[in-house]
A and B are shown apart, each in its own frame.
Chain A
Amino acid sequence: MAPMTSPTAELEPFPKTHLLGIGDLSPPDIDILLDRSDAWADRNALPDNKHAILRGRTQINLFFEASTRTQSSFEIAGKRLGADVMNMSVASSSVNKGETLLDTAVTLNAMRPDLIVVRHHGSGAVELLARKVANCAVVNAGDGSHEHPTQALLDALTIRRRKGRIAGLKMAICGDIAHSRVARSNILLLTALGAQVNVVGPATLMPPAVERMGVSVFGDMDSGIADADVVMMLRLQRERMSGMYVPSSREFFHYYGLNARRLALAAPDALVMHPGPMNRGVEIDSDVADGVQSVIREQVEMGVAVRMAVLEALSQNQARDNREPGR
C-alpha cells in the first residue's frame, strides 16, 4: 500500500511554472526547493518508496545529449512519485538539430505530457523549448554551457546537510569553468545564498569576466583551495585536453588535479565533491575520490531527492493553475 501523504505537505509551495535555471530564482525560491528536497531526502531513507503523488501524470525525459546518471536520476524520481515516465533520446548527429528541437516540441504537445525534463547541447535551447510547449512544466537537465539547476540544488543540499548552512562557507570550484554549466549554476546558487566562491583553473578554461558573477579567480590551485570548506571538482572533457585549452591531461593533473597533498591545504573537514562522471587521474586522484572527505556518492543520492522535490513542486503548480484537482 503506497503512502499517500507527501513529506513536503506542510512546506511552502514553489512559485514558478518551470525550472530553467538558478538565474531565474530568488534566494527564497532556492530555500523552498532545498527545504522540500531535504524532506524528500529524509523520506527516501525510510522503506516503501512508491508514492502516488504524480499518479496519472506523464513525465517525458527528453535527452538530446547522452547522460546515464542524470536521466536515470530523473527517471527514478518520477517513478517513485508514481508518474508514467518515458525516456526519449534524440540523436544529435543530424545537421538539423534546431529543427528537430521545435519539431519535437510540436510532437510533445500532441502527447500532452505534464512534465518534460530536457537536456540539450545548446545554451538556451531548453528555454526555447519551454516557450513552445503548452500546459506543461519544463525542467532543465542541462543546456550547453549555460545551466544545470538540479545539479546545483543537489550540491547545495549535500553541503547543507553536512555543514548545516551555505552562508559564510568558503567554496572552491576547480577545473573547466568556461564550458561548465555545473559551474555556472553553482556560482549563481552559492553566491545567492551568501557563500564565498573561488573559481580555480587555467586561464584558458576561465570564462571572460567571470569575476563579475561575484567570484574570486585563481590560477594557482594551492591558494585557490586554501581553507576551503568545500572543494568542488569539475569534469574536463577529453577533447579539451589535446592542445587548444590545455596541452595534456598530464600537465592539467599536475597543476589542477586534486590529490591528498592539495586537499590538506583546505579546511580539515572540507568536503570533496564531483558532479560525475569522474576522470580519475585527470582532475581527481582515486584516493581522494574514495576518501573519507568525499561526498560524491551522497551527491548522487541527494540528486534523486532534489528531482523528486522539483517534479512534485512544479506539478502542484499545474494542479493549481490549469488542472482539475485529483486528475
Chain B
Amino acid sequence: MSRFASAELGQRAVSAPLLFTNARLVDPKAGTDARGELLVADKRIVKTARKITSVPKGAETIDCAGAVVAPGLVDMQVHTGEPGAEHLETLGSASHAAAAGGITTFACMPCTDPVIDDPALVDFIQRRARDTAIVNVVPIAAATRGLAGTEMTEFGLLREAGAVAVSGGRQAIANARVMRQVLTYSRDFALPVIQAVEDADLAGEGVMHESEAATRLGLRGIPAAAELVMLERDLRLARLTGGRYHAGQLSAAESVDVLRRAKHDGLSVTGGVSVAHLTLNEYDIGAYRTFLKMCPPLRGEDDRQGLIAGLADGTIDVIVSNHDPHDVETKRRHFAESSDGAIGLETLLPATLRLVHSGDIELPALLAAMSTRPAELLGIDGGTLAPGAPADLVVFDPDTPWIVKPQDLSSRSKNTPYEDARMQGRVLRTIVAGRTVYEYAS
C-alpha cells in the first residue's frame, strides 16, 4: 500500500532535486491556479513556470499527471499523546497520519502530561519530533502553569525555545483578569494567544448542541451562548489590551458575526474552525455515535452554513483538524460519559474538499486557510510556492473517490467521525524539505 519515509534521517537527509511536471500548481498565497512545472532543490522551491528548461543534473522528474501541487498543509491545532499518553498517539505516529493527509507542519497542543509549560518541555517536543517525526512539528506552549488558568508561563523563554503560540489548552482561560494579563504580556513577544472559546459554567453538564436533537436523545445541551459569552468577553479584552487573540475553534454561526464585527473594528483577532464543524452537524451523531462527540459540539446545519460563509469571506482565518486521539477505553462508553474529540489529520484535506465540490469555496481559498494563513499566524515559513520557500508540498488529486476505513488510517487511535464516509480527493504524495515522506500507491 502506501509508503512512508523513515524518520531516522529525518530532515537532515539530502535529497536529489525534484522536477514536478504536468502539475496543476495552486499557490494560495498568490491566489493562482495554473498548469505548469515546479523545481525543488536544496530543500527549497527554486521556481515555478509553465515549462522549466534548465534542470539540474540528477534531478528526479515526477509526472503529476494533472494532479494539484500546492504548499504542504499547516495544521495549527493537533493533540498527540506525547508525552504522557503515547498509547493514543506519539509525535511519530501523528506525523505519519499528517504525512498521509498532506500536512507538512502541525502545531501540537500543550495539554499533555506533563503540560508543556516550561522551556525544557518545548525543547523536549522539538527533539522528539526531530528524531521520530517525518513532518515538521511546532510546539504551542501553555499560557498558564499547568494550564490551571492562574499564573502566566514564561512567554519569552518559551518563544526562544521554539514555541509558536500560547494557549489555555482544552479549557478557556476563564478568569478575565488572567486573560487580560496574558493578552497584554504576549504582545511583547508577538505570540498569538489561542483560546478554547467556551464558558465552562454555561456549558455545564452539556454533551452536545442544545437543540431539538439533544432533547430527543435525552442528552444535556450546550447552548451556542456558551461560546458567544466567552468570545465576546475575549474580544473586549483584546480591544483593551491590543493582544493577538485567536479563537481556536468556532462552532456557531453567530460567533462568525461577532468575529466579523471585531475585525471590521480593526482588532488584530483571528479565528479557526475544525474540519468536523465544516462538514458535519448535530444530526450526524445519529444513535449516540460517540466518535462525533467533541468540544465545541457539532451544531445545527444553520451554524455549519454560517461557518462556511465565514470561511469563504475570510472572517474565519484557518481550518484545523483538531486531531484528538482517543481509544476504546474512553470512547466506547455511553455518550455522556465518553471523552470528547476525534482524529482528523489524515482526513483534513479530503473532507474539506467537500466544500470545493459543493461549490462553497474555491480551491486556492480553501488551501490558504490550511497553509498560508496558519503559517502567517504562527510566524513560520510555508504556505506559498514562491521561490525560496521551503519545499514542503502536497500533491493530490481532488477527484479520486475513496471510502474511509478506520483500520487503514495511520493514526494510532481510530476515533474518526468519518468511518465509512465517502471522500472525493486523495493525497498522492507529501514532500517535506524536498524529501518525499509519503507516497500513495493504490
Chain A residues within 8 Å of B, Cβ to Cβ: 23, 97-99, 101-102, 120, 122-125, 127-128, 143-147, 181, 184, 207-210, 212-213
Contact = CB atoms under 8 A, between A and B. Distances in A.
Given A208-B210, A208-B221, A124 B335 contact: yes
B215 interface: yes
A145 B216 contact: no
A65 to B, nearest CB: 12
Contacts of A181: 218
Given A97-B333, A213-B216, 19 more contacts: A98-B333, A101-B333, A124-B287, A124-B334, A124-B336, A128-B288, A128-B332, A128-B333, A128-B334, A143-B218, A144-B218, A145-B220, A181-B218, A184-B215, A184-B216, A208-B211, A208-B214, A208-B215, A213-B212
Contacts of A128: 288, 332-334
B176 interface: no
Nearest to A177: B215
Interface string B329-343: 100111111100000
A207 B217 CA distance: 11
Residue of B216, B288, B329, B336 with most partner-chain A CB within 10 A:
B216
B190 interface: no
B121 interface: no
Residue of B217, B218, B221, B223 with most partner-chain A CB within 10 A:
B218
Given A98-B338, A124-B287, A146 B218 contact: yes
A102 B329 CA distance: 10
A125 B219 CA distance: 12
Contacts of B288: 123-124, 127-128
Q: Is the interface of B mostly helix, strand, loop or mixed?
A: loop
Interface string B211-238: 1101111111101000000000000000
Interface in B191-224: 210-212, 214-221, 223
B218 A145 contact: yes
A67 B232 CA distance: 45
Contacts, number: 77
Given A209-B211, A209-B212, A147 B218 contact: yes
Given A99-B329, A124-B287, A125-B334, A184 B218 contact: yes
A210 B221 CA distance: 13
Contacts of A209: 211-212, 215
A27 to B, nearest CB: 18
19 contacts: A97-B333, A97-B334, A98-B332, A99-B333, A102-B332, A122-B336, A123-B219, A123-B334, A123-B335, A124-B288, A144-B218, A144-B219, A145-B220, A146-B218, A147-B218, A207-B214, A207-B215, A208-B210, A208-B212
Contacts of B214: 207-208
Nearest to B207: A123
Nearest to B332: A102
Interface in B301-351: 329, 332-338
A149 B354 CA distance: 40
Residue of A98, A122, A209 with most partner-chain B CB within 10 A:
A98
B311 to A, nearest CB: 27
A23 B219 contact: no
Nearest to A145: B218
Contacts of B334: 97-98, 101, 120, 122-125, 128, 144
B218 A127 contact: no
Contacts of B218: 123-124, 143-147, 181, 184
A123 B221 contact: no
B337 A122 contact: yes
A213 B219 CA distance: 15
A122 to B, nearest CB: 3
A207 B206 CA distance: 12
A98 B216 contact: no
A312 B335 CA distance: 30
Contacts of B338: 98
B98 to A, nearest CB: 30
Contacts of A208: 210-212, 214-215, 221, 223
Nearest to B214: A208
Contacts of B329: 99
Contacts of A213: 212, 215-216
Residue of B219, B220, B337 with most partner-chain A CB within 10 A:
B337
B265 to A, nearest CB: 32
Residue of A127, A128, A143, A147 with most partner-chain B CB within 10 A:
A128
A137 B288 CA distance: 20
Contacts of B210: 208
Contacts of B220: 145
Given A128-B288, A147-B218, A122 B335 contact: yes
B189 to A, nearest CB: 40
Contacts of A207: 214-215
Contacts of A144: 218-219, 334, 336
Contacts of B287: 124, 127
A99 B214 CA distance: 24
A97 B337 contact: yes
A124 B217 contact: yes
Nearest to A129: B334
A143 B217 CA distance: 10
A270 B338 CA distance: 43
B227 to A, nearest CB: 16
Residue of B216, B334, B337 with most partner-chain A CB within 10 A:
B334
Rank and list the top 5 A-B pairs by shortest CB-CB distance, nearest first: A98-B333, A146-B218, A124-B288, A122-B334, A125-B334
B219 A145 contact: yes
B217 A146 contact: yes
Nearest to B210: A208
Contacts of B333: 97-99, 101-102, 122, 128
A144 B223 CA distance: 20
Contacts of A127: 287-288
Nearest to B337: A98
A184 B333 CA distance: 23
Contacts of B332: 98, 102, 128
Contacts of A102: 332-333
Nearest to B330: A98
A184 B218 CA distance: 8
Contacts of B336: 122-124, 144
A209 B334 CA distance: 23
A210 B215 contact: yes
Contacts of B337: 97-98, 122
Contacts of A210: 215
Nearest to A185: B218
